[in-house]
Amino acid sequence: MGQRKGTVEKLDLLNTLRGRRVLLTGHTGFKGGWLALWLHQLGAEVHGFALDPNTEPALFEVARVAEVLASDTRADLRDAAAIKACVARVSPELVLHLAAQPLVRESYRDPAGTWASNVQGTVHMLDALRGTACRAAVVITTDKVYANQEWDHPYRESDALGGHDPYSASKAACELVVESFRKSFFTDQGLRLASARAGNVIGGGDWAAERLVPDILKALDAGRPVPLRHPASVRPWQHVLEPLSGYLRLAAGLLEGEAGLDAAWNFGPEVADAQPVIELVRGLGAQASVQSGEHPHEAGRLELDIARARHRLGWRPRWPLNQALAATLAWHQAWRAGQDMQSFSLQQIEQYAPS
């Protein structure tokens, strides 16, 4: 029997996910590495599918994520045969699909590759699940899937999809792919499929190029100002553990048969934590300089409405922005001091969500 409507917040994540075979794509990335550690801590059997880490250093290496995996497949989602073979071998009960080309500015340099990875890669992932015994899947997109009107109010899941840059547009297209597969194949198959749209995540172990917090921390380490393109741009900042907790709660609800969860979900911060870029620089104790010249288009304001997740999943943000920044800085300082970063990361997960 499925859970009654409105009881997802009562689900015990430990009991729901313990022993489950989980296929996690993108496990070598920033969010994927944190999620692999958390899933392992919850007792899941975690199988990864991803390319090699694309930064040096990388969270995957620094936190020894490979140690918590039941299997580690290195392949490209654009290779349909590779993902199909992985699904057949793992026979997952749950799929968490995070693998993507995640950077806006990179999407301007390589639009075709971005669309191929983000859209066709998602098609390959979902197609591989047809006819399997998989029970639930969550596809991770982004807060940038909305047709941004520069509104001063948050976007709801029912607002129009769009996207100016290739990254945003490709992720909006992923939402259409998810809806199509859900209606065309998975409803009859009994596979519960949802999508999740997170805010702008920060946290320890992110070394991605051209991303704000990594750039701030590099500037702090070097004792120089951080160059900013758009210091007044407003984003829904949140610690990486915030959306991951939403993904896990959503996945648990899908696995437990809770009605009405196979839909799109926003996981963002409280309204007060949608702040201008310059506030993150100040919050981390850095100085800033403004980059002159022409830059690719970026939205000036973006906020997420999280009422659906709050009311239906019982999910809510736990760490305000100042605490998220403090946790990020503490992780970075621990890494600089040579501490055991797998242990430190697991400690931060425990601090965020005590067992």
Partners of 16 in the β-ladder: none
Query: What's the CA angle centered on 153, arms 148 and 154, to 5 degrees?
Result: 70
Q: 3-state DSSP call for residue 276?
A: strand
Mean pLDDT of 85-93: 98
Q: Please tell me the predicted confidence (pLDDT) of residue 148.
A: 85
pLDDT bracket for residue 132 (50, 70, 90)? very high
**What is the per-residue DSSP string for 47-104?**
EEEEPPP-SSS-HHHHTTGGGG-SEEEE--TT-HHHHHHHHHHH--SEEEE--S---H
Task: Note whether 45 and 22 are within 8 A (CB).
Answer: yes
pLDDT bracket for residue 2 (50, 70, 90)? very low
pLDDT bracket for residue 4 (50, 70, 90)? very low
Separation in Å, CA 32 to CA 23, 48, 309: 11, 9, 21
How far is residue 89 CA from its own chain's centroid? 25
pLDDT bracket for residue 10 (50, 70, 90)? low
CA distance 18 to 96: 15
Q: Which domains does the chain have, with CATH numbers?
A: 17-199+238-268+298-319+340-352 (3.40.50.720)
Candidates 94, 99, 69, 67; CA nearest to 82 is 99
- pLDDT above 50 (res 1): no
Tokens 């990254």: give the residue: 167
**To the nearest whole number, what is the mean pLDDT of the chain?**
92
Which pairing describes strands 234-239 and 274-276: parallel, antiparallel, or unpaired?
Answer: antiparallel
Q: Which helix (H) or strand (E) holds 130?
A: none
Query: What's the CA angle centered on 9, arms 8 and 15, to 5 degrees?
Result: 80
pLDDT bracket for residue 13 (50, 70, 90)? confident
138-187 per-position pLDDT tens digit:
999 999 999 988 777 899 999 999 988 999 999 999 999 999 999 999 99
48-67 per-position pLDDT tens digit:
999 999 999 999 999 999 99
- pLDDT above 70 (res 293): no
Task: Note whether 118 and 170 are within 8 A (CB).
Answer: yes
Task: Note whether 59 and 84 are within 8 A (CB).
Answer: no
pLDDT bracket for residue 297 (50, 70, 90)? low
Separation in Å, CA 89 to CA 167, 186, 272: 31, 20, 45
pLDDT bracket for residue 79 (50, 70, 90)? very high
Which pairing describes strands 94-97 and 21-25: parallel, antiparallel, or unpaired?
Answer: parallel
Q: Which amino acid is at 214?
A: P
Mean pLDDT of 190-217: 94
Q: Indicate the pTM of the whole model.
A: 0.94
